[in-house]
Amino acid sequence: MRNAITMLGLVSAMALSACGGDKGDDLGRFVGTWSATSGNYNVVCPGYAPDTYPVSGNVVWNTGVSSDLVVTDTGGCAITADVRGSTASGDPGKSCTSPDGVGGLQTITLASYTFVIAPDGRTATENASGNITDVAAGVSIVCTFNENASYQKIGN
């Protein structure tokens, strides 16, 4: 189960899904590479002890064609974001299915997501929550997750 729930990059990026925002928003503030500086990804599954993983890695944002932003390095999920001011918000109910790394499939379903750029324009906070349904060997388990992380922009 641990391998199935450690796909933090996928969850973070998948969480950025929504439709286009106000075209007056400054999307350039988001575009570029953001590196995780701190944070935790927490998973609770029935019958298992809760697990906490450190948030690490990068999120790369680009401008979208039919949406404000898009993340393209997420393992096959089409990721877009709706931007309002300094906040990119995810689309509750968005789901993505992928291999879990141990022979099963996992479906991540977003309940809430925000990526908020600080006034300095170089740091941001991310908050996400939802469910992970893992199916392996005919057995299905539904876990909940939440993530709180800080990022620093490292490139355009």
pLDDT tens string 77-93: 656 778 999 998 877 88
How do residues 8-27 score in pLDDT, each as one tens digit?
444 444 444 333 444 556 89
Q: 18-21 — which CB contacts under 8 Å span 24+ positions?
A: 18/67, 18/80, 18/81, 18/82, 18/88, 18/89, 18/90, 18/91, 18/94, 19/67, 19/80, 19/82, 19/91, 20/64, 20/66, 20/67, 20/68, 20/80, 20/82, 21/68, 21/81, 21/82, 21/83, 21/84
pLDDT value, residue 16: 42
Joined tokens for residue 11? 């969850």
pLDDT value, residue 121: 95
Instruction: Please tell me the distance from the alpha carbon of residue 32 to that of residue 62, in angstroms, as a whole number.
Output: 7
**Which residues span the domain enclosing 17?**
3-155
Joined tokens for residue 67? 């949406």
pLDDT value, residue 124: 97
Q: Are 136 and 108 in contact (CB under 8 A)?
A: no
Instruction: Please tell me the distance from the alpha carbon of residue 67 to that of residue 88, in angstroms, as a whole number.
Output: 11
- pTM for this entry: 0.79
65 phi, psi to nearest 5 deg:
-95, -50
Q: Are 132 and 5 in contact (CB under 8 A)?
A: yes
pLDDT value, residue 29: 94
Please state the domain count of the chain: 1
Coil/strand/helix, residue 111: strand
pLDDT value, residue 137: 87
Q: Which residues of the chain are under the pLDDT cut of 50? A: 2-22
50 phi, psi to nearest 5 deg:
-60, 145
